[in-house]
């Protein structure tokens, strides 16, 4: 019985240590979540204004042509997926990777029909284990990434569409709703053939020409959308981690309470047994 009590006490101590870790991680994630959410929200007005200008130019003239605005027969598809570098974030990575894997299985019969751009170590390792074709990857991003961190992969994804390496580009990321809800999201990034629908035509004068302005703005707009999705993904990551660590802390508390009850019962049984033995010994001597 004494050995059993020691084991229980050791297990209680282990769970208490784990609870301290998960509680600390929950608080850190909550702190980072606020900053990541602010960054995601602050990036949206810039993307919206850029879209407004691009849409206005595209709608102002039917003569404006650009490869990023034109649909073409789909022979090959590009996918850019945003994951995290670390785990302990609930279903954050698993949900988005499962969604993309299902899409690839449904749409493609050969690895020659698609190309992958991956942000995050978890996604990189997932596709590497399955020998799926990755064109470019970025890992080791900070908790507060800047555009320069993903400019290379974003520019590569956009330019390869423009030069015809593939015929459409999708981005997969977790859309942040709140700390409890992150939605695995698929968005067709390119071509931007529908961008001018419903756009308001503004009387801007362009220098040197509308085509020249579009030539500069369209890649920047597409790259901005990728960066905006990354910021959304970071906020989702911290929200998922905060929720997961909160659940782990609650589970640890429940297990500690159950083990403490078991320990107290075992201790009470041991004391009762000792008293019984003492009484029996005293009775035998009298």
Q: Give 66-116 pLDDT, tens digit per residue.
A: 778 788 899 999 999 999 999 889 899 999 999 999 999 999 999 999 999
In the chain, what is the greatest distance between 2 CA atoms, to the nearest angstrom?
115
In whole numbers, what is the pLDDT of the chain averaged over residues?
87
Instruction: Quote the pLDDT of residue 1.
Output: 47
Question: Hey, how many other C-beta atoms are within 10 angstroms of the C-beta on 202?
Answer: 12
Q: Is the peptide bond prior to 200 cis by the omega test (within 30 degrees of 0)?
A: no
Task: Give per-residue pLDDT as tens, 41-56.
Answer: 888 888 888 877 777 7
The pTM (predicted TM-score) of the whole model is 0.85
Instruction: Quote the pLDDT of residue 234.
Output: 94
Domain ranges of the chain: 2-25+244-281, 44-243
Tokens of 13: 């101590």
Note the CATH number of domain 44-243.
3.40.1380.10
How confident is residue 4, by pLDDT bands cut at 50, 70 and 90?
A: confident
Instruction: Quote the pLDDT of residue 107.
Output: 93
**What's the CATH number of domain 2-25+244-281, 3.40.50.2300, 1.10.1370.40, 1.10.287.80, 3.40.50.300?**
1.10.287.80
In this chain, the answer to whether the domains covering 2-25+244-281 and 44-243 adopt an identical fold is no
């Amino acid at each position: 019985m004494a050995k059993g009590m020691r084991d229980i006490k050791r297990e209680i101590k282990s769970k208490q240590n784990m609870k301290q870790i998960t509680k600390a991680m929950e608080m850190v994630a909550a702190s980072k979540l606020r900053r990541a959410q602010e960054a995601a929200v602050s990036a949206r007005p810039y993307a919206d204004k850029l879209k407004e200008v691009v849409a206005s130019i595209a709608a102002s003239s039917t003569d404006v042509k650009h490869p990023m605005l034109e649909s073409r027969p789909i022979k090959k598809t590009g996918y850019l997926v945003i994951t995290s570098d670390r785990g302990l974030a609930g279903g954050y990575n698993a949900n988005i990777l499962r969604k993309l894997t299902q899409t690839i299985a449904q749409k493609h019969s050969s690895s020659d029909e698609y190309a992958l751009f991956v942000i995050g170590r978890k996604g990189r390792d997932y596709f590497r284990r399955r020998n799926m074709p990755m064109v470019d990857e970025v890992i080791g991003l900070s908790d507060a990434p800047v555009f320069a961190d993903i400019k290379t992969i974003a520019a590569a994804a956009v330019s390869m569409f423009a030069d015809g390496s593939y015929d459409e580009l999708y981005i997969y990321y977790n859309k942040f709703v709140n700390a409890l809800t992150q939605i695995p999201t698929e968005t067709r990034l390119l071509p931007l053939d529908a961008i001018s629908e419903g756009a308001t035509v503004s009387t801007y004068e362009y220098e040197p020409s509308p085509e020249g302005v579009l030539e500069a703005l369209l890649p920047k707009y597409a790259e901005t959308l990728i960066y905006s999705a990354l910021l959304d993904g970071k906020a989702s990551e911290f929200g998922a981690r905060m929720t997961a660590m909160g659940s782990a802390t609650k589970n640890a508390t429940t297990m500690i309470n159950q083990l403490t009850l078991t320990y107290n019962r075992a201790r009470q049984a041991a004391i009762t047994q000792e008293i019984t033995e003492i009484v029996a010994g005293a009775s035998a001597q009298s």
